[in-house]
Structure 1
Amino acid sequence: MSISNLKQKKSRITIFNEPVICRFCSHDVFIPYEVNVNVEQPGIGVRHARDIAICQHCGEVKLFGDPSYYDAEKDNFIWALNQHLLSVRKYKIKILLYVGKRNNDKITSFINKLIQVLSIEVENMSDLQGGVLLQIKLSSLNEMQTIRFIIIDTAKRMNITIKDLTIK
């Protein structure tokens, strides 16, 4: 399978069943591309295809080739590249939070930070005795544990107490 046959979507790529890993952040989620570059003398117009993948965590570009080959002895073509598309999961999240003295600016900042980091969509926000119940929707490639960590970490950094966090 040539890289040009791979879909330009978030995925995990393997070469001979070994995952392609980012050398900077050690993550393995990439979007593959085929690029054409002029590597000959200027004016000749000879272009060569290069295979790249962009890390979806840090943005590093990984340059690699397709080592697939034809095995004449077995009369079989050995495919080296495989792509495993990542499915987008949909989550419904309920957060019961407290901010001490009811501070709408702090809650708004918290929501805006979650929108920025996770691209959440607020479904409902209701006041409870001394707290706020926040109901949000989220579509993400991230696992539930990662989303939970991001929400809790964001709240801690903003001095917001989460009393209950439910992700379904």
Structure 2
Amino acid sequence: MSGMDESLSPQKSRITIYDEPVVCSFCLHDVYIPYEVFVNVEEPGVNVRHVRYIAICQHCGQAKYFGDPSHFDANKGVFIWALNQYLISIRSYKIKILFYVSKKNNDKITGFTNKLIQDFGVEKENINISNLKGVAELQIKISSLNEIQEVRSHIMHSAKKLYITIKDLTIN
């Protein structure tokens, strides 16, 4: 959405002000649900109200207050739209992970699986362990707001932290 002449929709979205993303100061994520708030900014009883926004971070729940700085530029004779909203859809991914494990190290498989469940809220589909080759296979489904590259990077980072070597990672 670009150059909005309507209020922000209360849906999961990314919001920009003058093309700069609104980022949560607490967790540094940028996915919000914005809501309109009407504020009486004049003396009490005058009933002059202005629209402000409150946006709730979808990662940590932190509230962010902001106004709409859109304005008319008299020098150029045009209206400058400041707020933009980009609606986000939740994506579903099927992931297949092949990783090396020693014959004695089933704790790594459990730890890695638990880490992915904690981070993504995954549904385990299938776990196959091939003891002869020292390779484990994990098939999972996740729903995420993130793009494939971010999901891949997060899985690789989690594996690295647990000292797991990934042989193959397929995301569909």
Q: TM-score, normalised by structure 1?
A: 0.73
Q: Are residues 1:66 and 2:68 paired?
A: yes
CA distance in 1, matches of 2:111, 2:25: 34
Given the superposition, is the C-alpha separation of residues 2 and 52 from structure 1 closer, same or farther in structure 2, using an over 3 Å criterion? farther
CA distance in 2, matches of 1:70, 1:48: 17
Q: Are residues 1:159 and 2:156 paired?
A: no
Q: Are residues 1:146 and 2:150 paired?
A: yes
Q: TM-score, normalised by structure 2?
A: 0.71
Q: Is the Cα–Cα contact under 8 Å of residues 102 and 131 in structure 1 kept in the other structure?
A: no
Letter in 1 for 2:106: N
SS in 2 for 1:116: helix
1:91 is aligned to 93
Which residue of 114, 120, 123 corresponds with 1:121?
A: 123
Deviations 1:37-90 (A, max 9, x none): 7999xxx9x99864122334555432111245689xxxx987543321012222
SS in 2 for 1:100: coil
Q: Which runs of 5+ in 2 are unaligned?
A: none
Given the superposition, is the C-alpha separation of residues 96 and 102 from structure 1 closer, same or farther in structure 2, using an over 3 Å criterion? farther
Q: Is the Cα–Cα contact under 8 Å of residues 2 and 81 in structure 1 kept in the other structure?
A: no
CA distance in 2, matches of 1:49, 1:78: 17
Letter in 2 for 1:140: S
Aligned length: 164
1:33 is aligned to 35
1:52 is aligned to 54
Root-mean-square deviation (Å): 3.5
Letter in 2 for 1:105: D
1:10 is aligned to 12
CA distance in 1, matches of 2:21, 2:157: 29
Q: Is the Cα–Cα contact under 8 Å of residues 35 and 52 in structure 1 kept in the other structure?
A: yes
Say which is worse superposed, 107-116 or 28-37, in terms of deviation.
Answer: 28-37
